[in-house]
Chains A and B, each alone.
Chain A
Amino acid sequence: MRIQFVQTVRCGALLALILAGCATKPYDYTNFRAHPPRSILVLPPLNESTDIGGTYGYLSTVTQPVAEMGYYVFPVAVVDHFCKENGMPGAGEMHQAPLDKIREIIGADAVLYITLKQYGTKYQVINSATTVLAEAKLVDTRTGTLLWAGTLLAQDNSGGAGNIFGDLIVAVVTQAINKSTDHAHNVSRMANTQFAVKDHGLLPGPYHPKHGSD
């Protein structure tokens, strides 16, 4: 049983960051260590939220945190196009693709399956709450073994405008996109910092300076 707790902090933007808390036991990395991947295929997330933009708003935030943990991450948009050209029109079909085919055709050691449980902003009287909640599973393509699973969650109660993440990270792109469109995309980046949390996130991969040290 894993316990999570929520803490809201006002700091420029109001952030709520949820970790698989300090009080909980470290993740059991036995399978991860037995089948250490070099390369990870990130498939477009299954979207169980009410926002149709969730799949790609989230997909475009996963490469950096996973690659910075030391893994080769296949180009997410190229893979998406490639799958679509090969008879898999959506995330649902892609998540059903047999692992041996993924291994043969793309050469991935592991697949990261993400399901978006919540993605979007709820507007209230004086502020708004943007929540991203995703469940992630990393599966070995040789054996089908579950290597890692985690819950990624972040919440921003600031209301969107003027938030530090929007300004810093998507400064260029927001010139091309209506600023108010998709704050959940920015909050997804916060959720994804949890890939790097020691004892709960991914183990450092082959390109990471700490690879093999723990």
Chain B
Amino acid sequence: MLRTGALLTLLALLAGCATPTMYSWGRYEDVVYAMYAAPDKMPPARQVELLEEDFQKARSKNRPVPPGWHAHLGYLYYQLGKADQARQEFQTEKAQFPESGVFMDRLLGNLASK
């Protein structure tokens, strides 16, 4: 059982933060967590600030941001009343991940009808 334990620990580490990731995650999931757990401390403007910082870091290393990232940022811009920036982020999401097309078109449509 001890050897099994060591193996499982190793697996956990390999599957976790020790493995190089495909995407540059930055604080995307931390921001999502905080917007629910402490919304007063993580309003949309603060989220945008953190995500834009992370984007600069990802870009400087030439690494892609993860699925949903641009859509989340776009939604924050929408909440802040910045429709042009929201539109740009939704379009970027769609270009990076065509799988998001149906949903992004819907969000873009909602923006246009405001």
Contact = CB atoms under 8 A, between A and B. Distances in A.
B9 A106 contact: no
Interface in A38-65: 38-39, 53, 56-57, 59-61, 63-65
A22 B16 contact: no
Contact of A78 (B8, B22, B33, B71): B71
B17 A9 contact: no
Interface string B53-83: 0000000000000111101100100000000
Given A78-B71, A185-B33, 16 more contacts: A7-B8, A22-B7, A56-B33, A61-B33, A63-B32, A63-B66, A75-B69, A75-B72, A106-B106, A172-B27, A172-B30, A173-B34, A177-B41, A185-B37, A197-B15, A207-B22
Interface in B39-57: 41-42, 50
30 contacts: A15-B9, A19-B8, A22-B7, A53-B37, A56-B37, A59-B36, A60-B29, A60-B32, A63-B29, A71-B67, A72-B67, A75-B67, A76-B32, A77-B35, A78-B72, A78-B75, A105-B103, A107-B100, A107-B102, A169-B17, A172-B50, A176-B34, A176-B41, A177-B34, A177-B38, A185-B37, A193-B11, A193-B15, A194-B15, A207-B22
The majority secondary structure among interface residues of chain B is helix
A30 B105 CA distance: 33
9 smallest beta-carbon distances between A and B, as pairs: A107-B102, A75-B68, A56-B36, A193-B15, A72-B99, A60-B33, A39-B99, A173-B30, A60-B32
Interface string A181-202: 1100100011001101100000
B45 to A, nearest CB: 14
A117 B75 CA distance: 31
Contact of B23 (A67, A77, A107, A193): A67
Contacts, number: 146
B11 to A, nearest CB: 7
